[in-house]
Amino acid sequence: MFVPFLYELRDRGVKVGAQEALSLAQSLGLGLHRGTLDGFYEVARALCVHREQDLDAFDRAFAHHFRGVPDDALALTDELLEWLEQPAAKRRLTELERQLLERIDLAEARERLRARLAEQRERHDRGNRWVGTAGTSPHGSGGIHLTGIKVGEAPGGRGALEVAAERRFRDLRSDVTLDTRQIEVALRRLRAFVREGALDELDVEATIDKTARNGGELEIAMRPPRRSNLRVLLLLDVGGSMDPHAHVCERLFSAASRATHFRELRTYYFHNCVYGRVYESAALIRGVPVLQLLQDCDPSWRLIVVGDALMSPWELQSSGSRWSFGDDSGAPGIAWLAHLAQHFLHSAWLNPEPAVAWYGTAEVIRRVFPMYRLTQDGLLEAVQHLMRGGGRL
């Protein structure tokens, strides 16, 4: 019965496999779920979810999957009917509601609830349907979400379906939020250590080895310390269509500049497309010729371009941008981009727009640069790509 649920989880991107299925079967065999749906929710969550980013997907899968199952729905309905029969709870209903309630016999109410259960698939907030038809709202007003029924006074009170439907872990999903810390964590993977420089670290292993070979007379061995050898070139698209994304770009920039594991980080700005120059400030002043930049940065630098890659096709083909007519760079924009991509062994383009919006000029640029979304997942993929050998497309 839970195997289809595991496939539902897989469909939603929670990586579960045979191992999770076996552990789940084992714990159910041991009765860890205490024979309840709530218990099953907790046990399944502990065993199937491995990172908090997946908690939301799990909740959605759970709410979706177990709402449709008649048996469980019936169990809930029974709980509800039990509650209906408690006169103490009824006192909160209005006179009209009580009359309505008396007119409905239990069998009919049960039938209706079942129909409603099958019908209702998503969380239902602040509706009044329930009050009007069956008079089953525990609060008398404000609407009721079917799984939100606080039936009886069970300790803990909240049903698994209610918890699942609440989707409290939405903020932890990895494909939507990206704060500075997450960026830092992702960027931390971007590193390569080498030993070079002055011999100022005691090499204990070698010292012992040499001393032993020397018949016990102490012989010190020194070595250079491990240092990061990774240099990063960050090019940021600013202005125009990038304005809505300024915030996330700012975070990326601050995370990158705070990262201590880069040997060197250089940041330049451009507008829409790179032509002959990139700029040291976001106001696009203090230009640096691209050719000079390429002389300074050897191909081992990692190039990260951030931009939405959206512009008029004309901008890719022309040799100067709209806003600086006097400044002809001698080659079309797309050629400059291709030149950059060719120069560096590893490069990636981060796009803050969702992948569905990658059409038009973005499609063209995708053929030049490997393009990733500017989300936690996308950034990690990009970083992995930058660390692999021969990152060219």
Partner 1 sequence: MEFRRFRGTDKYLTSSALESAVNCALALERPLLVRGEPGTGKTLLAEAIASALGLRLIHWPVKSTTRAQDGLYVYDTVQRLYDSRFGDGDVKDIRRYIKHGPLGQAFASRDRVVLLIDEVDKADLEFPNDLLHELDRMRFVVTETGDEVIARERPVVVITSNAEKELPDAFLRRCVFHFIEFPEQDLMARIVRVHHPDLDQKLLDQTLRAFYSLRDVDGLRKRPSTSELIDWIAVLRRAGIASVELDAGMPFLGALLKREQDLLAFAEATSRGRRPRA
Q: Comparing C-alpha atoms, which of 169, 159, 40, 152 is closest to residue 88?
A: 152
Number of residues that bind partner 1 (CB under 8 A): 36
- CA–CA distance, 372 with 305 (Å, rounded to integer): 10
Q: Which stretch binds partner 1 (CB under 8 A): 47-55, 86-94, 220-228, 330-338?
A: 47-55
Closest CB to partner 1 among residues 106, 204: 204
- Whether residue 47 contacts residue 16, with contact meaning beta carbons closer than 8 Å, is answered with no
Q: Which stretch binds partner 1 (CB under 8 A): 17-25, 124-132, 268-276, 287-295?
A: 17-25
- Site membership for partner 1, residue 154 (CB under 8 A): no
- Site membership for partner 1, residue 166 (CB under 8 A): no
- CA–CA distance, 51 with 32 (Å, rounded to integer): 21
For residue 78, the one-letter residue type is D
Residues 357-386, mask of contacts with partner 1 (x by CB under 8 A): -----------------------x------
For residue 271, the one-letter residue type is H
| Residue 261, C-beta contacts closer than 8 angstroms, at least 6 positions apart | 188, 190, 191, 228, 230
Q: Comparing C-alpha atoms, which of 393, 261, 275 is closest to residue 326?
A: 275
- Site membership for partner 1, residue 15 (CB under 8 A): yes
As measured in angstroms, the least distance from the Cβ of 283 to partner 1 is 25
Q: Which residue's structure tokens are 């990326």? A: 252
Closest CB to partner 1 among residues 81, 185: 185
Residues 124-143, mask of contacts with partner 1 (x by CB under 8 A): --------------------
- Site membership for partner 1, residue 13 (CB under 8 A): no
Q: Comparing C-alpha atoms, which of 340, 375, 309 is closest to residue 233?
A: 340
Interface pick for partner 1 out of 35, 156, 326, 390 (rule CB under 8 A): 156
- CA–CA distance, 363 with 284 (Å, rounded to integer): 26
- Whether residue 150 contacts residue 158, with contact meaning beta carbons closer than 8 Å, is answered with yes
Which residue ranges make up the site for partner 1 (CB under 8 A)? 15, 17, 19-20, 23, 26-27, 30, 32-33, 38-39, 42-43, 45-47, 49-52, 55, 156, 168-169, 172, 181, 185, 188-189, 204, 208, 211-212, 216, 380
